[in-house]
């Protein structure tokens, strides 16, 4: 039984015979109705959310049923093309070069016949004419799913959409053009409109967009769906996911499909080496989370590269320091970051989409500082008798800040406002490397960055502010750290106030003051 079991897939589309996956009908509840009503529509969702898997599965279901015909086509091959006269024939080729895979739908000789006739199609209509030929060939209602459409830009995008529109409105006889079509990608149709031409230009009277009925998204997994996916593995192998493991998988992933699969795969394959007799525990899920962040595979790398995107960088910087942004000014950029799946808007709070992204962003942006710290300090230098020496750690941070916070160090950072926050996080990362854990809580508008340091059975509440922000309202800062201490259930906290103006004299800037608030103590660490 074990040798025949499926596995959790983290690379490419899922295949039902090989991988654990949810039925397409569950992930695309509205799509069947749109197809039945012969609509053209857009589906957008973040990378590796299961768009390709869901639509390829839906295509197979439609073709197996037999009353309609369906085809899937990725346009990614023309991503870098800028000349429509060269891109359109190549795009049409994507429709016919794989026809041998659809022999059961179009006939065994369809590829050979279309490869000959496609040469006679004018460039200005080659995509439209190819779709028309396929629709007429199959002699039944024909559906096409175009994937990766958002990779097209400018005149190539205009030419492509215009040919779809022209075919839709000109081929009115039955079975002469696709009756339904999905344009699939990361972005919504409104963003296609913004990208086809500069704002001061027009796409012309024949708008390529007016045949689209609806734009929709593929949701992340619900907790019930995540549990159902994991249950498939348990049913096939007998290996159970304990309740604690399921709870942590949900908390860490928040339903992001790639993360859901990657966490399970790490537990099953990396930790237990496919020994299905051992259950997956909460501790396993902790180890899997840490392994994924350290490994930082393609999924996490591609998202982290977006952090330096000029549209996203200012938002992430404000999020790192807990400050607010002008939502009206940043509206489109916020929507872009959310549609990429990097951030989420949770009841008005802008934050990373899940704890794994939060941790990855924190480590990614501080990796340069981490390297310098790691090269200068021995392992476990702040651990004494198995306990974390927080006073020594904070004192070391003050020394490091004084020695390394120079004007040049600020200029070299892309995130100028958040530089003190980066340095402290990089310093605390040493705790993780020494066997501890950092809990980062960052969100726009909170006015602070909460850092929970966990070492052994003990927790430490840490917050960081710039001196300018602290000077505006020290009482607010004290209330914030006290609230966070309550959340962690500790009576001692550390409020780090870093002076970002490193041109000022250092005399009097380095100090530690203990403040009492009832039965709680806050250590004010100035540097």
> What is the reported pLDDT for 143?
97
> Residue 489's Cα: distance from chain center in Å?
32
First-to-last CA distance in the chain? 61
> What is the reported pLDDT for 411?
47
Burial 335-351 (b: 16+ CB within 10 A, else e): bbbbbbbbbbeeeeebb
Q: How far is CA 157 from CA 54, 55, 266, 434, in A?
A: 24, 22, 40, 51
- Secondary structure (3-state) at 141: coil
Fold of 23-217: Rossmann fold (3.40.50)
What DSSP element (H or E) covers 390? helix 390-404
Please tell me the distance from the alpha carbon of residue 474 to that of residue 284, in angstroms, as a whole number. 42
DSSP assigned state of 413: -
Contact 438, 429 (CB under 8 A): yes
What are the counts of helices (DSSP H) followed by strands (DSSP E) for the chain?
23, 15
Counting Cα atoms < 13 Å in the Cβ hemisphere of 444 gives 24
pLDDT averages per 10-residue partition of the chain, 527 residues: 75 88 81 92 84 90 94 90 92 88 90 92 95 95 93 88 91 91 80 49 45 79 95 96 98 94 97 96 95 84 84 82 72 84 80 88 72 54 79 86 65 62 76 73 62 85 85 89 90 89 75 94 94
> What is the reported pLDDT for 494?
94
Please tell me the distance from the alpha carbon of residue 493 to that of residue 417, in angstroms, as a whole number. 23
> What is the reported pLDDT for 206?
39
Q: Give the pairing type, strands 180-185 and 40-44.
A: parallel
> What is the reported pLDDT for 1?
42
> What is the reported pLDDT for 189?
61
Q: Give the pairing type, strands 449-455 and 458-466.
A: antiparallel
Instruction: Please identify which residue in the block is written with the tokens 């660490």.
Output: 525
For helices 419-433 and 390-404, give the axis angle rounded to 10 degrees: 140
The tokens of 143 are what?
A: 């559906």
For the chain, domain boundaries = 23-217, 223-295, 301-526
What DSSP element (H or E) covers 513? strand 511-517
Please tell me the distance from the alpha carbon of residue 419 to that of residue 159, in angstroms, as a whole number. 45
């Amino acid at each position: 039984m074990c040798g025949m079991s499926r596995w959790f897939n983290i690379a490419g589309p899922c295949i039902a015979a090989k991988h654990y996956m949810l039925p397409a009908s569950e992930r695309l509840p509205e799509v069947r109705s749109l197809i039945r009503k012969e609509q053209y529509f857009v589906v957008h969702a973040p990378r590796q959310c299961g768009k390709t898997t869901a639509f390829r599965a839906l295509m197979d279901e439609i073709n197996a049923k037999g009353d309609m015909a369906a085809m899937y086509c990725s346009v990614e091959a023309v991503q870098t093309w800028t000349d429509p006269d060269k891109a359109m024939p190549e795009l049409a080729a994507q429709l016919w070069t794989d026809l041998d895979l659809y022999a059961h739908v179009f006939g065994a000789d369809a590829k050979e016949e279309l490869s000959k006739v496609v040469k006679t199609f004018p460039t200005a209509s080659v995509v439209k004419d190819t779709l028309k030929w396929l629709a007429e060939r199959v002699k039944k209602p024909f559906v096409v799913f175009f994937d990766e459409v958002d990779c097209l830009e400018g005149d190539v995008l205009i030419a492509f959409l215009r040919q779809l529109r022209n075919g839709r409105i000109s081929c009115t006889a039955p079975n002469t053009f696709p009756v339904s079509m999905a344009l699939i990608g990361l972005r919504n149709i409104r963003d296609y409109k913004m990208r086809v031409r500069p704002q001061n230009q027009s796409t012309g009277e024949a708008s390529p967009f007016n045949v689209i009925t609806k734009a929709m998204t593929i949701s992340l997994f619900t907790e019930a769906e995540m549990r159902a996916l994991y249950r498939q593995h348990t049913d096939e192998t007998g290996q159970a996911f304990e309740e604690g493991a399921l709870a942590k998988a949900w908390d860490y992933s928040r339903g992001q499909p790639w993360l859901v699969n990657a966490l399970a795969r790490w537990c099953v394959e990396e930790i237990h080496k496919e020994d299905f007799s051992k259950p997956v525990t909460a501790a396993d899920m902790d180890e899997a989370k840490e392994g994924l962040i350290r490994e930082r595979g393609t999924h996490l790398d591609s998202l982290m590269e977006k952090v330096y995107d000029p549209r996203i960088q200012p938002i992430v910087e404000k999020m790192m320091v807990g400050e607010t942004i002008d939502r009206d000014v940043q509206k489109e950029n916020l929507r872009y970051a959310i549609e990429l799946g990097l951030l989420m808007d949770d009841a008005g709070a802008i934050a990373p989409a899940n704890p794994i992204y939060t941790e990855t962003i924190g480590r990614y942006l501080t990796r340069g500082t981490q390297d310098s710290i790691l090269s200068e300090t021995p392992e476990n230098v702040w651990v004494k008798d198995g306990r974390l020496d927080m006073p020594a750690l904070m004192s070391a941070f003050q020394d490091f800040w004084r020695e390394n916070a120079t004007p040049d160090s600020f200029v070299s950072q892309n995130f100028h406002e958040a530089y003190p926050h980066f340095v402290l996080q990089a310093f605390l990362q040493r705790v993780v490397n020494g066997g501890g854990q950092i809990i980062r809580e960052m969100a726009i508008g909170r006015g602070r960055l909460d850092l929970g340091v966990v070492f052994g059975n003990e927790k430490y509440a840490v917050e960081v502010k710039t001196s300018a922000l602290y000077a505006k309202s020290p009482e607010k800062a004290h209330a914030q750290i006290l609230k966070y201490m309550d959340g962690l259930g500790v009576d001692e906290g550390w409020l780090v106030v870093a002076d970002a103006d490193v041109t000022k004299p250092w005399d009097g800037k380095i100090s530690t003051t203990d403040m009492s608030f009832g039965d709680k103590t806050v250590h004010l660490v100035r540097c």
